[in-house]
A and B are shown apart, each in its own frame.
Chain A
Amino acid sequence: MRTEADWTVLEVGGEVDLYTAPTLRDKLGELIGGGSRRILVNLGEVGFIDSSGLSVLVQGKKQLDEAAGEMALVVHDGPTLKVLAITGLDKVFRVHASVKDALGP
């Protein structure tokens, strides 16, 4: 986790499923509870994510939206992009190809 251009970047790696999603939920909860309002979730190192992981992201985004914040995603992996497209979440989240691209110049 780091802060850049008033975005908090949350690095996520490995596999996100029913087993590991609670860790992601706790981490997001910690950040939001700690006052982060703009969270960029970097899924670049995620090898697998299913609906359990996506649900956590959607819940986090909802919390941030209600607090006038925002959440965006970094995804460059084919399967992760595909699951976002299938669920329509690529329209719900702003999705960037890299952290650099997300944070701008």
Chain B
Amino acid sequence: MTPGPFRFEFPPLPEYLGTARAFVAAAARELETSEETVADLELAVSEACTIAISSGEPVRVRVSATGSALEVEVDLPSGGDRLEGSDDLEGRELIASLFPDAGPVAGAYGAPVFRFVVPLG
């Protein structure tokens, strides 16, 4: 069975970061990823959402599974370019260390997203 996709959208407020992490961790555990991968995803998603929050727009997180991979996307709504060069550098470096291909890349509708892909099985 391939669960999802699951979506979580929250206001651009830091108090929702813990819930976003719990959401992603629950989905990753559902797909029986290792606890180390769960921790990596929690950290990367937390950093991505922290960056997204600074855009001041609702933050959207999507989790889907293809059978061979778990994919988590965090939208950077219209703030993707503006956010370059802001003081989130350490967060971006952390994301790049954990998921070198995470982007930001172009999402399904052309808007920038962070995309975290974890092979399954």
Binding site for B on A (CB under 8 A): 15, 17-19, 48, 50-52, 54-55, 78-79, 82-83, 86-87
| A-B interface contact total, Cβ < 8 Å | 48
> Which of B60-68, B76-84, B91-99 lies on the face that meets chain A?
B91-99
The residue on A at minimum CB distance from B53 is: A18
**Contacts A18-B50, A52-B50, A55-B90; is A79 near B43 (CB within 8 Å)?**
yes
- Contact-residue size bin, chain B (C-beta under 8 Å from the other chain): 20 to 34
Q: Which of B14, B36, B93, B97 contacts A18 (CB 8 A)?
A: B14
Binding site for A on B (CB under 8 A): 14-15, 17-18, 21, 36, 39, 42-43, 46-47, 50, 53, 88, 90-91, 93-94, 97-98
Chain A residue numbers with a CB within 8 Å of B39 are: 78-79, 82
> Closest approach, in angstroms, between the C-beta of B11 and any C-beta of chain A?
13
A86→B43 CA distance, assembly (Å): 12
10 sampled A-B residue pairs with Cβ under 8 A? A17-B18, A17-B50, A19-B14, A19-B15, A51-B47, A52-B91, A78-B39, A79-B43, A82-B39, A86-B98
The residue on B at minimum CB distance from A50 is: B46
A15→B42 CA distance, assembly (Å): 11
CB <8 Å contact, A17 and B46: yes
A26→B98 CA distance, assembly (Å): 30
> Closest approach, in angstroms, between the C-beta of B23 and any C-beta of chain A?
14
Q: Which of B21, B50, B94 contacts A83 (CB 8 A)?
A: B94
Interface centre among A18, A78, A87 (most CB of B within 10 A): A18
> Closest approach, in angstroms, between the C-beta of A51 and any C-beta of chain B?
4
The residue on A at minimum CB distance from B13 is: A19
Chain A residue numbers with a CB within 8 Å of B50 are: 17-18, 50-52
Chain B residue numbers with a CB within 8 Å of A48 are: 21, 42-43, 46
A17→B50 CA distance, assembly (Å): 9
CB <8 Å contact, B18 and A86: no
> Closest approach, in angstroms, between the C-beta of B90 and any C-beta of chain A?
4
**Pairs A-B, 4 closest by C-beta atoms:** A19-B14, A18-B14, A79-B39, A51-B90
